[in-house]
Structure 1
């Protein structure tokens, strides 16, 4: 408990610092502060200088390469981006907000992070509602965003960001289809069939090294969204007082933890899952040492090529459509909004308008196509109506390269592989074509309340530890259930549930 209390004390200090320092920036915006450079004014040929904080998901890009040079040319902008490795984004954001020294634009993927909400409430970022109006001045933002995109970025009725548009269909629970064929196994349709299938694969020597060391399910950090959806954890569940419960504290979630405990006991989960990094899990999967993994669908073609180069020329990945224990589809959906671009209140009003014009341009179909494929002949070639990335394209056009603009919503944007041909991508779309209809969204990633933001950090670390200990067999399921029941009876959590119920109702009425 001492370690947990130390973490909580550290978090609290940071939280208070954010509140005080963000408040100090709240009255900025007079035009006399940092970031008031007039480059790119309406009617000027000078590029718009933009200082930005954004996530890094690949190698650090060379901002002078052909992709970024063309991006800046097309948008008439000069980008000065601090690229932050994705694994460090949360920590770096908290430190940035606590310092009060914000760049002009903060691009961040979790719009309900407590420190971000606190900074918004204390005036660190512009309320964009008056600027956006009816969106008539921003035709691409008006026409090309996902449904309810701006609603997801609202705080207390104000819109505080423009979205990082991403596909609602994103993650898939993958299995090695070629291994199923080799072992003459049918494609599993239910969770129990999936478990039995993993057992048969793990008991075989699929990588041919003479050992039974194949991992069944690569399970990293928290359970993939598809399992939570399949156990019904994303079905709104209310306590006896009408409060909206956190998905992780519902009976359905406890049932899922018990199921994972069974997988672990049967040797179907990696023994190191609790400390394994995504990069390590990805390497295991790409080198034919694991059967199943939950990650974005658009990696499938690239990973199949890696598997083939690792000695299995028939490697093929299939994204499963499973039915959970109570009939729920095991498909987790994104909102179509992966966080947003927040404009610091230090930026003067005139430049806010210029930045919004820039973001509107990046939401065009033209810039979105460029973000996904780059320059024809340099980054991609076209065959049978399908753009295919070249070697240079694979290097320069990636997840990170999509991080400087809104982009138009693309239904299959996280499904289509830029390195796959048309036949491959058409088949992949058909494989997951019903995901958008049967999938569910984690509503606790959409709504928030002050009580929940203040309450859950007191329990979060201990809860994660208890869940892990349950899965690996250090404590019983009954002990974990009793612990969850105890949390649900805490007055502060019950109060938070009440506020979350109100927030959910208000969100649905917007």
Structure 2
């Protein structure tokens, strides 16, 4: 009897234990579990905007421009409207693993790669991305992108026809988060002090000869009226910028000579189709030598900033009112122009699709839509955090005020925009100002992240006549942040909307195998040679020796590889 009773008790115990195990398994399937890294996951769909229950930290590498004075009093690069928004919305606390100025950031990134001492996440270019993949230092973000990228970001990325994802895919894995920017970023317009033109009775220069005459007048005829010989005709690149954009850095070149090169059908830094139909590097073509000769003459005649190449920030000469012309993208109001009109409210900076080529056409170089990438350190315990931060930026960018801290202070900032974002914005603002459409007509366009605030606020800052964009017909003080945005659209982007652009693309915008070892030295050879030719410390014929050296030091082999890629 006792044995039967013991057997029954044992059976009850086993049944209860099994029942508890089944219940626990069901609860685990329905609730939170842990992955092999110990991080909590959920069977619920990932929330691209979900805040963490407990504060997490992310140490990033960040570019911080020491000349940027836009932060409001009391704010710092680690405590500002952007970092506070990330903390409040996502419960992510940002720390700095390193910071660097724009001229030193790439070097800091290279040092981090070489020492295998990466921050948790950082923004890199295509060269550094390939190095990180080959060194096996960054996380596979395939599942992160699929599960955490917001619908709006996926829509924008998809609009690149696969280019953005292709640029970050290695052996079938997404190894970084790509940006996608407006195509307008790659066109470098001519910005001119129109009040200086008006004072001297000049028109915007259509040809290169006109251009040189305007520059000469700005230097010699005292356009600022102070009686001193202190004006600059054309700004030149500072130590943080380039003589021209190139196929690896095809956007947002400031104060370079892109417009002069393209007016002469010279496209240094780009891979072009040669006369024989085969790829050729634009920097070794006769058109580039011709453009260097023009720039050399302008520099020797004092028409270009004599401190080009050594000046730390060419924007300072624009803010101080000493410079009359420069080349730059549509968004220059986010750069020095806001401070320039603070210093002098009558500084009437206007943007033009000039100069034209000998046929009267505007022929600028064009950019790729994907140029920057966020990478995440391998084994960082929250690899989805950077994706959430980018989702947060795109969804909330309209709430930020760039006049109290430029957008570059947003941690891990990438630009996400449809290719035609600025052109669509310009046309929408014109329609609202003309009364042909209402702001509400543009509300349901989430990929155009700032469009709703653009159309809602345009009447606060734009004065009549609405079709005249001269500075006196604006009220920046009514809403300086919105003025910056609207001026970028109605002045900076307007030439791209109103001009029949015959732009030139590079055949490729990425590296080949030999470039990984040779390109840094080849680019250094190119930059130093061209700068010396322009400044007159080397003869123009030095160009011919450069071409020979470039070919012998790897250029010919690289050209063969580019041909294979294009074919």
TM class, shorter-length: 0.7 to 0.9
Secondary structure at the aligned position of 1:433 is classed as helix
| 1:55 aligned residue | 63
| 1:6 aligned residue | none
| 1:262 aligned residue | 297
Cα distance, 1:342 vs structure 2: 0.8
Q: 1:217 aligns with which of 234, 246, 249?
A: 234
Query: Using a 3 Å threshold, how does the CA distance of structure 1 residues 122 and 243 change in structure 2: closer, same or farther?
Result: farther
Cα distance, 1:181 vs structure 2: 1.3
| 2:331 aligned residue | 298
1:457 maps onto 2:520 in alignment: yes
Secondary structure at the aligned position of 1:144 is classed as helix
Q: 1:341 aligns with which of 374, 377, 389?
A: 374
Question: Does the Cα contact within 8 Å between 1:51 and 1:81 map onto a contact in 2?
Answer: yes
| 2:549 aligned residue | 487
Cα distance, 1:421 vs structure 2: 7.4
Matched positions, count: 439
Cα distance, 1:259 vs structure 2: 1.5
- Whole-angstrom CA distance in 2 between matches of 1:237 and 1:165: 23
Cα distance, 1:257 vs structure 2: 1.1
Query: Using a 3 Å threshold, how does the CA distance of structure 1 residues 489 and 178 change in structure 2: closer, same or farther?
Result: same
Query: Using a 3 Å threshold, how does the CA distance of structure 1 residues 399 and 248 change in structure 2: closer, same or farther?
Result: farther
Secondary structure at the aligned position of 2:88 is classed as helix
Secondary structure at the aligned position of 1:450 is classed as coil
| 1:251 aligned residue | 286
- Whole-angstrom CA distance in 2 between matches of 1:424 and 1:358: 30
- Whole-angstrom CA distance in 2 between matches of 1:305 and 1:63: 23
| 1:27 aligned residue | none
Secondary structure at the aligned position of 1:394 is classed as helix
Question: Does the Cα contact within 8 Å between 1:217 and 1:270 map onto a contact in 2?
Answer: yes
Which moves more between the two structures, 57-66 or 260-269? 57-66
- Deviations along 1:196-240, one digit per CA (max 9) or x if unpaired, are 221222221012232333211111142334444443344743569
- Deviations along 1:92-120, one digit per CA (max 9) or x if unpaired, are 01110011011221212x2234xx42231
Secondary structure at the aligned position of 1:78 is classed as strand
| 2:189 aligned residue | 172
- Whole-angstrom CA distance in 2 between matches of 1:143 and 1:188: 40
- Deviations along 1:469-507, one digit per CA (max 9) or x if unpaired, are 211223332x223213313542732111111222344xx
Secondary structure at the aligned position of 1:87 is classed as coil
Question: Does the Cα contact within 8 Å between 2:149 and 2:391 map onto a contact in 1?
Answer: no
- Whole-angstrom CA distance in 1 between matches of 2:520 and 2:271: 22
Q: 1:144 aligns with which of 141, 146, 156?
A: 156
Which moves more between the two structures, 43-52 or 189-198? 43-52
- Deviations along 1:414-464, one digit per CA (max 9) or x if unpaired, are 9988341787465324343257954444556x2111212322333433332
- Whole-angstrom CA distance in 2 between matches of 1:238 and 1:491: 22
Cα distance, 1:298 vs structure 2: 2.6
Q: 1:75 aligns with which of 58, 67, 90?
A: 90
| 2:535 aligned residue | 472
| 1:194 aligned residue | 211
Cα distance, 1:61 vs structure 2: 3.1
- Whole-angstrom CA distance in 2 between matches of 1:101 and 1:240: 47
1:358 maps onto 2:388 in alignment: yes
1:92 maps onto 2:108 in alignment: yes
Which structure has more relative contact order (CA 8 Å, sep 6+)? It is: 1
Cα distance, 1:404 vs structure 2: 2.7
| 1:404 aligned residue | 412
Q: 1:394 aligns with which of 403, 409, 430?
A: 403
- Whole-angstrom CA distance in 2 between matches of 1:370 and 1:187: 38
- Whole-angstrom CA distance in 2 between matches of 1:464 and 1:317: 30
- Whole-angstrom CA distance in 1 between matches of 2:378 and 2:95: 18
Query: Using a 3 Å threshold, how does the CA distance of structure 1 residues 137 and 71 change in structure 2: closer, same or farther?
Result: closer
Question: Does the Cα contact within 8 Å between 1:300 and 1:317 map onto a contact in 2?
Answer: no
Secondary structure at the aligned position of 2:562 is classed as helix
Question: Does the Cα contact within 8 Å between 1:139 and 1:360 map onto a contact in 2?
Answer: no
Could you tell me which runs of 5 or more consecutive residues in structure 1 were left unpaired when the two chains were aligned. 1-30, 375-388, 506-510
